[in-house]
Amino acid sequence: MRLVIFDIDGTLTQTMNAEAECYVRSLADVCGFTEVDTDWSRYTHVTDAGVFQEIYEARAGRSPTADDVSQFRQHFVCLLAQASSETPFMPVTGAPQLLSRLTGSVEHSVALATGAWRDSARLKMASAGLCYDDYPAASSDDALDRETIINLAMRRAAERFGRISDVVYVGDGVWDARACRSIGIPFIGVGIDARAGSLAAEGAVCVFPDFSDADSFWNRLHEIKDVETRAKHAVDASLAMKKRIRTDLQSAMQARSISEVRVLRSLLTAIDNAQAVRVGGAHIRYRVPPFGDRSTEVPRVPLTAEDLRKIIESELELRHSAAAELECCGKSDAASEARTEAAVLARYGTKT
């Protein structure tokens, strides 16, 4: 069974503006904190609890007490309730229908992982005609950071539904994309214009403006699953190639063949670079994971025989071009060295 985890604000409910306004007003009313930076992407943990703690520590010079958090939270939720009573919150277009379709499917299950506090999340969803308690969920009550919140949602979903084969997360914030990349699960973005571009840059496999085209969303879910299945069963041709190169490298080092050692190390580096997981132009705040924490590890990209052929041909082309340019400059010895390196590369085959 595939688990589809949803964020809430901006993903299932159109509450981002109301959320921000009530949050900022509560900071002023309860704590006296004004001129708050509302570019949430600048905060270490983009959750209700995480942002409050960071702002409080910066302004008050100490961590908030449990009473500090409780007073702020109560006032914040009261402001949200007042706002929803004046103008009920709306669901993101197509969200109720998509949730119904997913929960009615034998192939899928749904969970929630939100940076909001549980009581505010429940209020916002209820106002939008959705029910928070219908789904296994994790929230800012459980942790400051989104990675832990998502992992808890996965665990609670497994406890309710049984074995989960794979997971996809759906959200609207760059912080959602970064958390998914840290955990190693696919991320589907929800946004338009600049936000859509930011989500794509952060690694979203696709971005939807909303859920009005449920069929397209459904198809993308299956495409993601197909890609993952092929990757799981792919034969990584680089394993045998790298083993051969390392054996030859050891022999070259023992024979003190400097040029051969150099070219073999260069080829290993080219293969390793080709296996690196792409993250686009994304940037994540540096953090030191606890010893033994494997949550930031991501499997290397498997390579086919065709991939290896292209890498070797590229390395060969570099040597042939260098040899020709060096000959033109009258540097015959250096040109000969480049051709020697090309001959070493040619041993690994360039034809399919």
Provide the pLDDT confidence category of residue 284 given band limits of 50, 70 and 90. Answer: very low
pLDDT tens for each residue of 193-236 = 999 999 999 989 999 999 999 999 999 888 886 555 544 544 56
Q: Please state the length of the chain.
A: 352
pLDDT tens for each residue of 76-112 = 999 999 999 999 999 999 999 999 999 999 999 999 9
**pLDDT greater than 80 at residue 174:** yes
Provide the pLDDT confidence category of residue 281 given band limits of 50, 70 and 90. Answer: very low
Asked whether residue 265 is assigned to any structural domain, the reply reads yes
Q: What is the pLDDT of residue 240?
A: 84
**pLDDT greater than 90 at residue 179:** yes
Asked whether residue 105 is assigned to any structural domain, the reply reads yes
| Range with the poorest average pLDDT among 279-283, 293-297, 344-348 | 279-283
Residue finishing a domain among 58, 86, 114:
86
Residue finishing a domain among 48, 64, 86:
86
Same domain, 226 and 287: no
Residue finishing a domain among 26, 60, 86:
86
Same domain, 163 and 206: yes
Mean pLDDT over each residue of the chain, to the nearest integer: 88
The 10 Å Cβ neighbour count of residue 276 is 10
Same domain, 251 and 305: yes
350 CB burial (10 A radius; 0-12, 13-18, 19+): middle
Asked whether residue 253 is assigned to any structural domain, the reply reads yes
CB neighbour list of residue 218: distance below 8 Å, 6 or more residues apart: 101
**pLDDT greater than 90 at residue 239:** no
Q: What is the pLDDT of residue 226?
A: 55
Asked whether residue 129 is assigned to any structural domain, the reply reads yes
Q: What is the pLDDT of residue 154?
A: 94
Asked whether residue 134 is assigned to any structural domain, the reply reads yes
Give residue 173's identity as a one-letter amino acid code.
G
Same domain, 213 and 122: yes
Q: Are 93 and 130 in contact (CB under 8 A)?
A: no
**pLDDT greater than 90 at residue 294:** no
pLDDT tens for each residue of 301-339 = 778 888 888 899 999 999 999 999 998 999 999 999 999
Distance CA 267, CA 302 (A): 16
Q: Which domain holds residue 261?
A: 238-292+300-346
Residue 169 sits in a domain whose CATH number is: 3.40.50.1000
Provide the pLDDT confidence category of residue 282 given band limits of 50, 70 and 90. Answer: very low
Starting at the earlier edge strand, list the strands of the sheet with 206-208.
137-138, 108-113, 2-6, 166-171, 187-190, 206-208
Q: Are 128 and 12 in contact (CB under 8 A)?
A: yes
Which of 14-23, 264-273, 274-283 has the highest mean predicted lDDT (pLDDT)?
Answer: 14-23
Same domain, 332 and 253: yes
Q: What's the structural domain count of the chain? A: 3
Same domain, 104 and 243: no
Same domain, 137 and 263: no
Asked whether residue 351 is assigned to any structural domain, the reply reads no
**pLDDT greater than 60 at residue 295:** no
Asked whether residue 98 is assigned to any structural domain, the reply reads yes
**pLDDT greater than 70 at residue 253:** yes
Same domain, 127 and 215: yes
Same domain, 8 and 146: yes
Same domain, 185 and 334: no
Q: What is the pLDDT of residue 165?
A: 85
* pTM greater than 0.75: no
Same domain, 176 and 221: yes
| DSSP labels, 38-81 | --GGGSSS-SHHHHHHHHHHHHHSSPPPHHHHHHHHHHHHHHHH
Asked whether residue 352 is assigned to any structural domain, the reply reads no
**pLDDT greater than 70 at residue 178:** yes
13 vs 259, higher pLDDT: 13
Same domain, 80 and 225: no
pLDDT tens for each residue of 115-156 = 999 999 999 999 999 999 999 999 999 999 999 999 999 999
Distance CA 50, CA 23 (A): 13
Give residue 228's identity as a one-letter amino acid code.
E
Residue 284 sits in a domain whose CATH number is: 1.10.1510
